[in-house]
Amino acid sequence: MYNLNMNNLEKTLKALANKRRLAIIKHLKENKESSVSEISDGINLSFRSTSRHLAILFSASILEKEQKNIQVFYRLSLSQESVAKHVAGIL
């Protein structure tokens, strides 16, 4: 159990240790939910790079995603680790 929690914490911290991913979190905090293209436009990053960063945040359970027609929308996860919640609160 202890190792599982430490692994989750490590994954969360690694996901947060990037200025582009922090910009995504800030964007989603301000906009609640956005498509990949809205996020990439909002943080001035290519669609492909934005998608890669979103995948990392999603795999760390920091973000949730929902498919609506051909677009994927992301939002901050309600079940974020406390570290991610704290960081989102600072941004």
Listed in sequence order, the residues at least 6 apart from 44 whose beta carbon sits closer than 8 Å to its beta carbon are none
DSSP string, 52-68: HHHHHHHHTTSEEEEEE
Write the secondary structure of 16-48 as one string of H (helix), E (strand) and C (coil).
HCCHHHHHHHHHHHHHCEEEHHHHHHHHCCCHH
Greater model confidence, 10 or 46: 46
Domain, as residue range, for 51: 2-90
CATH value at residue 42: 1.10.10.10
Instruction: State both tokens at 79.
Output: 């079940």
Domain count, the chain: 1
Predicted TM-score of the model (pTM)? 0.83
Tens of pLDDT, residue by residue over 2-34, are: 455 777 778 888 999 999 999 999 999 999 999
